[in-house]
Amino acid sequence: MAPSPHSPGIVSGRLSREALAENFADIAPNFTAHEALVAADRCYFCYDAPCTLACPTSIDVPLFIRQIASGVPEAAAMTILSQNVLGGMCARVCPTETLCEEACVREAAEGRPVEIGRLQRYATDALMARGGQPFARAASSGRRVAVVGAGPAGLACAHRLAMLGHEVVLLDGREKAGGLNEFGIAAYKAVDGFAQAEVEWLLGIGGISLRQGVRLGRDLTLDALLADFDAVFLGIGLGGVRGLAGAESGGPEVRPAVDFIAELRQARDLAALPVGRRVVVIGGGMTAIDAGVQAKKLGAEEVTIAYRRGRGRMAASRYEQELAASVGVRILANAAPVGTVPAGMVFARSDEEGVPGEERFEIAADQVLTAIGQVLGPVPEGLAVAGGKIAVTGPGRTSLARVWAGGDCAAGGDDLTVTAVAEGRDAAIDIHAALMAA
């Protein structure tokens, strides 16, 4: 095992490459054709379709499942992608257990819903395997739109604008497009470079120029964009992370969980990626679960996810919590972080609302991953802010004329990939209407 330069307890090579390959294999492999037909046959094809109502992108779920049952998965994919152009990734990462599948009539009647997410993946993968871009562009409108941020919201916005005939310049500060789909999703949910394959497929529509390594506020300004383009969409995500109070030097390594996940997602050799022997993750959302599970799968001997409120208040779904438990991750609720000590973390026993009491206890750790929230970076001058995010009305209209926003950076969303896609798509439709009316 190779030591890390940061802490003697953080080393690489805890597991063999064979064990790592098994640990990071696809968590929900695609259906075979027969499996898809069996799963589709369980659908009641409800007329009022509560599953569709529960989908942030309003996919016609009964229709696409009926198309799979009829043996035309490519048609099912078009039903999905017409509403959610990132339907392939959403099929992999959406918390379907709290959205469409929770609303499924089978769930209410039997406690086992139709496997909508896996059926969606089956259909979209079938279409993407054929190659080519199935959506055609409208005649050129002569209008140019800048889309800042190549995450789910920006990609969905850019694709819909291109479909409507506009020229789009997609600007992103990182070396790869995809946003959280590329850098922030657990590796076992999107294997074999799927995020990049989906981006390349999406850009195949044409009319979208991708410029990477360009960041708003560093390399360009909003005023300059408004001078060069007819409209601007901001899908810049949340660039900052909340720090952990009380972290002392000389204690365990403390780093943001999002950085740990991004490093893992971009690692060419997981055996070379260091991880602590004892890892503590602070937080109760999906990022905390993803970080904790992946630390365990990398070879950490002990992983504890500590959440300051009651377990029922965790943002991570019950499915994700059970996944963590299944690989040996301990979830400790009512534990408010107080600070670090040389041997680990100090916590206060807290109530259901996260208010710390007098009782203190320690958890041994040589690595602490913080997943206690992300924050918006510097806001371009003139944009109103609400709740720490860009204020928007309707389909993403900001306080500045000709500027729209969507995804995690915009107020009012759920910070989900599928919600970001819906907001990017709807903003594009509104931008189109505004440009055509001008």
Same domain flag for 217 and 121: no
CB 296 within 8 A of CB 15: no
Q: What is the pLDDT of residue 429?
A: 98
The verdict on residue 9 lying in a domain is: no
Q: What is the pLDDT of residue 82?
A: 98
Domain-terminating residue out of 79, 106, 130: 130
Residue 250 has a CB neighbour count (10 Å cut-off) of 7
Q: What is the pLDDT of residue 381?
A: 83
Q: What is the pLDDT of residue 438?
A: 80
The verdict on residue 123 lying in a domain is: yes
Same domain flag for 348 and 262: yes
CB 332 within 8 A of CB 243: no
pLDDT tens, residue by residue, 25-36: 999 999 999 999
Same domain flag for 219 and 252: no
The verdict on residue 2 lying in a domain is: no
Q: What is the pLDDT of residue 28?
A: 92
The verdict on residue 27 lying in a domain is: no
- Residue in 186, 235, 173 with CA at minimum distance from that of residue 424: 235
Burial profile 413-435: b = 16 or more Cβ within 10 angstroms, e = fewer: bebbbbbbbbbbbbbbebbbebb
Domain-terminating residue out of 352, 373, 394: 373
Same domain flag for 275 and 339: yes
What is the Cα–Cα distance from 386 to 412, expressed in whole angstroms? 9
Same domain flag for 110 and 258: no
Q: What is the pLDDT of residue 380?
A: 84
Same domain flag for 247 and 368: yes
Give the domain CATH number at 105.
1.10.1060.10
Same domain flag for 247 and 299: yes
Same domain flag for 162 and 261: no
Same domain flag for 219 and 288: no
Q: Which residues of the chain have pLDDT under 70?
A: 1-6
Give the domain CATH number at 161.
3.50.50.60
* Count of the separate structural domains present in the chain: 3
Domain-terminating residue out of 83, 100, 130: 130
Q: What is the pLDDT of residue 250?
A: 74
The verdict on residue 20 lying in a domain is: no
For 309, the domain range is 241-373
Q: What is the pLDDT of residue 187?
A: 96
- Amino acid of residue 397: R
Same domain flag for 125 and 153: no
The verdict on residue 23 lying in a domain is: no
Q: What is the pLDDT of residue 417?
A: 95
The verdict on residue 26 lying in a domain is: no
Q: What is the pLDDT of residue 9?
A: 87
pTM over 0.85: yes
The verdict on residue 86 lying in a domain is: yes
Same domain flag for 303 and 395: no
Same domain flag for 282 and 387: no
